[in-house]
Amino acid sequence: MSARARIGVLALQGAFAAHASALQRLGATTVEVRVAADLEQCDALVLPGGESTTMSQLLETSQLFDPLAERIATGTPVFGTCAGMILLSKGIADGRPDQRSFAVLDIDVQRNGFGRQRDSFETEIDVLGLDRAFHAVFIRAPRISRIGSQIETLATHGGEPVLVRSKTIMAASFHPELADDDRVHQLFLTMVQG
């Protein structure tokens, strides 16, 4: 990974520090994104897990939503995990009326589709392009209820897509930053390198 490539990690809420650590172990430079000016330093972006309605509200109050939407719309590579997947999705089946998404990934999701906090689980999944199973951590994970024709499924659980990609966007229902395995982040960095 080029030392000049800088990955912005949205640092308003959620496990942003764990994402930054994984990316740094892979040789990336990271930037914690809290205000619009931080985006100017970034070649790519990570939207971490957390609570999607809270993240949506924080993006509004920090005045980050529109600048972030513009960066994503112009082709900046982005990786969303859990709540980040929800923020990227075109449709949120059970979102709050005031909840906004960037609507750039042609999928519909159901928040907490795999269950509430007590239903959280860990399991091994096969990921396209990886030589062995990946230990996936699902915490109040969104479930993909519709997938567009241009979406590539990279991993499934129980026959359902849980890691998807479309052009410059990748999204996971699970939390790869909580696994002791950086290979999913490496897949994203490969996209960034083009």
Measured CA to CA, the distance from residue 151 to residue 27 in angstroms comes to 28
User: What angle, rounded to 10 degrees, do the helices at 183-193 and 16-25 form?
Assistant: 70
Which residues are the active-site residues?
82, 175, 177
Could you give the count of Cα atoms lying within 13 Å of 133 in the half-sphere of its Cβ?
A: 9
In this structure, are residues 22 and 1 in contact, taking their beta carbons and an 8 Å threshold?
no
Q: Which amino acid is at 121?
A: F
CA angle 6, 76, 40 (to 5 degrees): 50
In contact, 154 and 128? CB cutoff 8 Å: yes
